[in-house]
């Protein structure tokens, strides 16, 4: 017992010392905390919103619950990307210090304990703040109407979930840190985070064609079936299509980046495209949720628009379904973009720290901070815009007649959904611009 205490007391003291010093450069410490705050607040709010649908037990409730479950699944990808970004940011800030400690003779156990303490501590701190944000946002979210009435008291999750959330987030951060730390413990000389571009095998293309064709046919057949079965087929088709997009996404990002790299005329675009071509998987992980949402928004938005247009023929509780699908879709799009924007900002900040020496040297060569920022923005925005357009086009092709009819019968709904996608892209641009002070701080001599 005393040996164990001795083994953890030293790393705990060192961690506390380093954390206290860490506040001297708040961006490196506050950023992961802020990211975990966003992850926790948005996750809890999404789960609470979905949870509120379980208060109904009539026939239509199943459709609502399936749609809520679908929204949660849609949001899982960007939320997991954000959590991963936050964990990586705090890990990257630590890597160098921990490698140095290893070189100075710290044991792997001490380094591991320090890393786990710091990661889970920052994550838990962020998660506690996230719970508070979730509670503060409650009165606003409670006003959102579904089935003709505000969510109201059904929004509140059981108290134990709010107590457990920081522990779960802290644990997940510790696991993530443990995985990234494995490399530091093995090699005190540091780590590289870039991954090679994935090759596209013919099998992937064949799988993609088969799945998309099957989805197309299934969506055609879904019309004549009941609401619940129809929605189940729709969601299944979506899940399959999204899996395919996820499979092809990194490859398409890589192809586009290599083409941009060959044709880039400005140094900013050349740097951006070369960076993306080198790590298309990492770029897709950051922005992939947006094209997936563009895809889903077009199909579901068109479906909702058609249902709203034929509203007059429906009575009873089903009459709220079209508006509610539209409301749910808009909330999902907005939340998802917020998460992606946070994730992009955290990654961009982490990258500035990672490449501080290189950015400083480019600045010394005469590259202005504005040029550097433009290049960093392009490395996210160019693939984001391309992939969002492609995702939206893929959705339009999949539900071609549906989109045409929706545009004719209820153009406002379709345009609102598309406007949300465009606004989301702009939010990501604003989030990137928000990391300008981080770049300025490392360029200062």
Q: Does 187 bind other proteins (CB under 8 A)?
A: no
Which of 266, 397, 400, 422 binds other proteins (CB under 8 A)? It is: 266
Query: How many Å apart are CA 385 and CA 160, to the nearest integer?
Result: 41
SS3 content of the chain, % helix, strand, coil (to 5): 85, 0, 15
User: Does the protein bind other proteins through residue 365 (CB under 8 A)?
Assistant: yes
**Of residues 213 and 368, the one with the C-beta less far from other proteins:** 368
Nearer residue to other proteins within complex by CB, 178 or 267: 267
Residues 6 or more apart in contact with residue 39 via CB below 8 angstroms: 79, 82, 83, 86, 126, 127, 130, 169, 339, 342
Q: Which is nearer to other proteins, 278 or 318 (CB)?
A: 278
User: Positive or negative, the Cα torsion across 244, 249, 254, 260?
Assistant: positive
The correct pick among 24, 104, 357, 412 for binding other proteins (CB under 8 A) is 357
Task: Report if residue 240 touches other proteins, rule: CB under 8 A.
Answer: no
How far apart are the C-alpha atoms of 410 and 310, rounded to whole Å?
10
Q: By CB under 8 A, which span of 100-108, 231-239, 275-283, 390-398 interacts with other proteins?
A: 275-283
State which residue, 225 or 358, has the beta carbon closest to other proteins.
358
For residues 298 and 392, the answer to whether their CB atoms sit within 8 Å is yes
Backbone angles phi and psi of 195, in degrees to 5: -115, 150
Contact segment (CB under 8 A) with other proteins among 47-55, 150-158, 207-215, 268-276 equals: 268-276
* Cβ count within 10 A of residue 190: 12
From first CA to last CA, the distance across the chain in angstroms is 49
Collect all residues with Cβ–Cβ distance below 8 Å to 358 and sequence separation of at least 6. Answer: none
Q: Please state the closest distance from residue 69 (CB atom) to other proteins, in A.
A: 40
How many C-beta atoms lie closer than 10 Å to residue 445's C-beta? 5
Residue for token pair 């044709």: 263
Kindly tell me which of 358 and 408 has the beta carbon lying closer to other proteins: 358
Beta-bridged to residue 145, according to DSSP, are: 150
The H-or-E segment that residue 227 falls in is helix 227-263
Q: Which of 14, 35, 125, 362 binds other proteins (CB under 8 A)?
A: 362
Answer yes or no whether residue 271 interacts with other proteins by CB under 8 A. yes
Contact 377, 432 (CB under 8 A): yes
Report the residue number, 123 or 277, with the smaller CB distance to other proteins.
277
Of 62, 214, 278, 386, the one binding other proteins (CB under 8 A) is: 278
Distance CA 441, CA 438 (A): 5
- Residue 337 phi/psi, 5-degree rounding, is -65, -35
Residue count at the site for other proteins (CB under 8 A)? 22
Q: Which stretch binds other proteins (CB under 8 A): 60-68, 292-300, 342-350, 354-362?
A: 354-362
Contacts for 51 with CB less than 8 Å, ≥ 6 apart: 154, 155, 157
**How far apart are CB 150 and other proteins at their closest, in Å?**
51
Nearer to other proteins, 185 or 274 (CB): 274
Query: CB under 8 A: which stretch of 36-44, 219-227, 266-274, 325-333 binds other proteins?
Result: 266-274
The answer to whether 438 touches 349, Cβ cutoff 8 Å, is: yes
Give, for 145, the enclosing helix (H) or strand (E).
Answer: strand 145-146
Question: Could you give the string, one character per residue 167-186, with x where binding to other proteins holds by CB under 8 A and - elsewhere?
Answer: --------------------
Q: In this chain, which stretch among 18-26, 309-317, 359-367, 402-410 interacts with other proteins, using CB under 8 A?
A: 359-367
Q: Is residue 388 within 8 Å of residue 290, measured between CB atoms?
A: yes
**Residue 356 binds other proteins, judged by CB under 8 A:** no
Stretch that binds other proteins, among 303-311, 327-335, 353-361, 415-423 (CB under 8 A): 353-361
Whichever of 82 and 352 has its CB closer to other proteins, that residue is: 352
- Binding residues for other proteins, rule: CB under 8 A, are 264-267, 270-271, 274-275, 277-278, 357-358, 361-368, 371, 445
């Amino acid at each position: 017992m005393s040996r164990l205490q001795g083994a953890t007391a030293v790393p705990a003291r060192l961690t506390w010392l380093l954390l206290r010093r860490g506040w001297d450069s708040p961006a490196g410490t506050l950023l992961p905390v802020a990211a975990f705050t966003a992850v926790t607040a948005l996750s809890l709010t999404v789960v609470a919103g979905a949870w509120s649908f379980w208060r109904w037990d009539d026939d239509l409730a199943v459709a609502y619950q399936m749609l809520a479950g679908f929204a949660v699944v849609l949001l899982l990808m960007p939320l997991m990307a954000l959590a991963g970004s936050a964990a990586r940011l705090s890990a990257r800030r630590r890597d160098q210090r921990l490698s140095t400690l290893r070189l100075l003779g710290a044991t792997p156990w001490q380094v591991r304990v320090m890393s786990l303490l710091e990661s889970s501590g920052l994550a838990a701190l962020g998660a506690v703040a996230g719970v508070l944000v979730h509670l503060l946002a409650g009165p606003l979210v409670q006003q959102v109407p579904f089935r003709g009435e505000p969510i109201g008291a059904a929004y509140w999750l059981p108290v134990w979930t709010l107590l457990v959330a920081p522990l779960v987030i802290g644990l997940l951060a510790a696991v993530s840190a443990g995985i990234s730390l494995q490399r530091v413990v093995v090699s005190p000389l540091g780590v590289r985070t870039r991954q090679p571009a994935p090759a596209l095998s013919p099998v992937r293309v064949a799988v993609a064609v088969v799945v998309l064709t099957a989805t197309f046919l299934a969506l055609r057949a879904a019309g004549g079936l009941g609401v619940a079965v129809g929605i189940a087929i729709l969601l299944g088709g979506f899940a399959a299509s999204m899996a395919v997009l996820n499979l092809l996404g990194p490859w398409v990002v890589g192809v586009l980046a290599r083409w941009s790299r060959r044709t880039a005329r400005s140094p900013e675009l050349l740097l951006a495209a070369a960076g993306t071509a080198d790590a298309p998987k990492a770029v897709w992980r950051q922005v992939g949720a947006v094209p997936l949402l563009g895809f889903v928004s077009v199909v579901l938005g068109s479906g909702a628009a058609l249902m709203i247009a034929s509203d007059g023929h429906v009575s009873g509780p089903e009459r709220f379904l079209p508006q509610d699908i539209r409301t749910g879709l808009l909330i999902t799009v907005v939340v998802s973009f917020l998460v992606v924007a946070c994730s992009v900002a955290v990654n961009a900040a982490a990258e500035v720290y990672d490449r501080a020496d290189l950015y400083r040297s480019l600045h010394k060569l005469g590259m202005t901070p504005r040029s550097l920022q433009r290049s960093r923005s392009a490395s996210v925005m160019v693939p984001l815009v391309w992939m969002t357009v492609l995702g939206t086009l893929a959705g339009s092709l999949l539900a071609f007649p549906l989109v045409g009819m929706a545009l004719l019968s209820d153009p406002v709904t379709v345009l609102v959904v598309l406007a949300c996608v465009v606004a989301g892209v702009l939010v990501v641009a604003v989030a990137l611009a928000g990391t300008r002070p981080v770049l300025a701080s490392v360029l200062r001599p």
